[in-house]
Each structure stands twice: as structure tokens, then as C-alpha cells.
Amino acid sequence: MAFGVIIIGDEILSGRRVDKHLPKVIELLRARGLSLGWAEYIGDDPERITATLRRTFMSGDIVFSTGGIGATPDDHTRQCAAAALGVSLELHPEAAKLIQERIRETYPGNAAAPLDLDSPENRHRLNMGTYPQGASIIPNGYNKIPGFSIRHHHFVPGFPVMAWPMIEWVLDSQYVHLHHAMPHAEKSLLVFELPESRVTPLMEKIERDFPGVRVFSLPSVGDAERGGVYARHHIDLGVKGEPEAVAAAFVKLREGVHLLGGDIVEPEPIATAKPRN
């Protein structure tokens, strides 16, 4: 199982809104010793959303989807999830109860007419509680309007103030057995005066000699805003994987860079995810 995130909304693709979900999901996973396997951005296109969900439902991955679960004409995610699974939408009884509680709480006390839960407007609001058959709810502590889960896919609103606590709730209530289950470490060097082509054979040798260790190379033309050594052309070269194997591979990586004549600076270490007790 990999963790994935689908971020839905024309406003992200047009630049009307800047996505904040991707870095937050990475942060929430990392805090639990987990990592993100993939991410996709999709506009409000029902056919594309349905096709994407049909593929990800078949993958077996754990997926968080943000956006498009409201009840306005540009919200398609609930309907697309049902279409991708080949099931119908149905009003979830607990979701209906929570939505009606929210309606009562927000109805003005000085209104001229008594609250009518059967009014067209209030019945339309119940659409936010219609999910694919077999779905369960995700509590929303901000305004009570829940998200929903089905087949390891978890659908939350696009609003960060709602979505992020809901994602945390899912991680801590459904996947706590995965927290810190796989020990992981990452170590890297800033390498100067060497092109990537020169270090590629060394990278290939490290991966051959240390099965399960992955080598990464992130070249930079220089980051003047960050300054210091980062302002120079360099490669962020490192290894990641099981901590003991990473430690041994890193020694060989450093030795190899020295033999190639590279100039080395060690960046701040990335936190190691520790195994669950």
C-alpha cells in the first residue's frame, strides 16, 4: 500500500488558489513515520475525476482526496466516486443527522418564520451527505459537515481548516498500525565541482551493493535566496532506506565522492522515522 493524494479543483489549476494540501499531507505522514507515494492534481472535470478514481480504487493504495464534495454545480467528487465504483449514491443517515444539526445551529434565533428542515434549500443541503453505497463518515470538527471514506479512499473538503484535522483523524483512527512500522533514514551531501554524469556510476554501484537502499540526486544551479553554500551550483546527493543500510551506504557514498574529487558539505540532517514500539 502506498499513500496518495488527489487535489481537485479548477481554482488550483488556474492559479486562483495556491495549493497548501500537498506539503501538509507530507508533513502529517512524516510525523507518523509514513511517506507519500504519489500526488495528482485534477480540475473539476467529471470524466477525468471518474477515470482517476477508477484507477486508484483498483490500485489498493490509501488515498486522500480534497475538494469537490459540496453540493454546488461544480462539485463532482461524490458522484464521480460512485460512478468509479459502479454503485449509486445514497443519503448516509448519520451524515443527514449532522447536517440537520448544523442547520439548526446556524438558523437565526430572531427569524420571522420557524425553521423548516423540509424546505427546498435545507433538503438541498442534505446532498452533502449523499455518498457511494457502503461509505462511512469522516467527522468534521469545524462545522459538522462530514467527509466520507470507502475502500481506503478518504474524501475531505477543499478547505484546509477542515481537511487537515479530518486527514489526521483518518490516519490516527484507521492506520495507527502503520505508524513508524517501517524504520527509515535519509542522509545526503552537498556535492560541488562534479557534474551528475560523473557521479552516476557511483550511484548505480551503491544501489547494487546495498539492496533496498535508494540513491537520489537533486542538482541545483544555485539558490541565491537561501544564500551561503546553497548559492553555488551543487548536487544534493544522498541515500534513503533502512537506517543501518543507509549508514553503511552513506560511508561508501562519501568515500566515492572524495575519490572523484568532489567538494563536500553536509546539509542539516533529515529526521529519521523510528520504528513503532
Query: What is the CATH classification number for the domain harbouring 256?
Result: 3.30.70
Grid look-up 546527493 returns 237
Query: Of 178, 194, 220, which one is at a domain's C-terminal end?
Result: 178
This prediction has a pTM of 0.84
Q: What's the pLDDT at 268?
A: 59
Place of cell 546539509: 267
Cβ–Cβ < 8 Å for 129, 99: yes
How confident is the model over 145-175, as pLDDT tens digits?
A: 999 999 999 999 999 999 999 999 999 999 9
Close Cβ partners of 37 (under 8 Å, ≥ 6 residues apart) = 2, 3, 4, 61
| 95 CB-contact burial (10 Å; exposed 0-12 / middle 13-18 / buried 19+) | buried
For 62-76, 121-135, 223-237, which range has the lowest pLDDT when averaged over its residues?
223-237
- Asked whether residue 145 falls in the same domain as residue 206, the answer is no
CATH number at residue 7: 3.40.980.10
> For residue 273, is it within any domain?
no
Is 275 part of a structural domain of the chain? Answer: no
Phi, psi of 80 (to 5 degrees): -70, -35
Based on the fold, state whether residues 217 and 142 are members of the same structural domain.
no
Could you list the residue range(s) of the whole structural domain that residue 216 is in?
185-265
CA distance 12 to 5: 14
* H helices present in 189-242, as ranges: 196-209
With 70 as the cut, is the pLDDT of residue 274 above it?
no
Region 7-13: mean pLDDT is 96
Contact status, residue 52 vs residue 42, Cβ threshold 8 Å:
yes
* Number of neighbours of residue 106 by Cβ within 10 angstroms: 9
Q: Are residue 191 and residue 174 in the same domain, yes or no?
A: no
Report which of residues 47 and 265 the model is more confident about: 47
Co-location of 144 and 189 in the same domain: no
Q: Which residue has better confidence, 64 or 181?
A: 64
Same domain for 234 and 154? Answer: no
Cell numbers that stand for 90 in this block: 445514497
Residues 189 and 173 in one domain: no
Q: Which helix (H) or strand (E) holds 252?
A: helix 243-259
Residue among 219, 267, 269 at smallest CA distance from 246: 269
Say yes or no: 109 and 238 in one domain: no
Burial environment of residue 161 by CB neighbours within 10 A (0 to 12, 13 to 18, 19 or more): exposed
Asked, for residue 277, whether it belongs to a domain, the answer is no
Are residues 169 and 127 part of one domain? yes
H-helix or E-strand spanning residue 31: none
Would you state the pLDDT for residue 183?
86
The HSE-up count of residue 37 (CA atoms within 13 Å, CB side) is: 11
Please, which pLDDT band fits residue 182 given cuts at 50, 70 and 90? confident
Is the pLDDT at 277 greater than 50? The verdict is: no
Final residue before a domain boundary, out of 178, 199, 227: 178
Q: Where are the beta strands (DSSP E) in 67-182?
A: 89-91, 130-132, 136-138, 147-150, 153-156
pLDDT given for residue 275 in this prediction: 45
Portion of the chain with pLDDT greater than 90, in percent: 81
Residue 276 falls within a domain, yes or no? Answer: no
Task: Work out the percent of the chain whose per-residue pLDDT is above 70.
Answer: 96
Whether the CB-CB separation of 69 and 149 falls below 8 Å is answered with no
Are residues 167 and 202 located together in one domain of the fold?
no
| One-letter amino acid for residue 73 of the chain | P
Q: Which tens digit of pLDDT belongs to each residue from 195-218?
A: 999 999 999 999 999 998 999 999
- The DSSP 8-state label assigned to residue 170 in this structure reads H
Q: Are residues 21 and 122 in the same domain?
A: yes
Q: Is residue 272 part of a domain?
A: no
pLDDT at residue 270 greater than cutoff 60 = no
Confidence of residue 269 (pLDDT cuts 50, 70, 90): low
Say yes or no: 222 and 126 in one domain: no
What pLDDT is recorded for position 222? Answer: 78
Overall domain count for the chain: 2
Instruction: Identify whether residues 137 and 48 lie together within a single domain.
Output: yes
Out of 114, 143, 178, a domain closes at 178
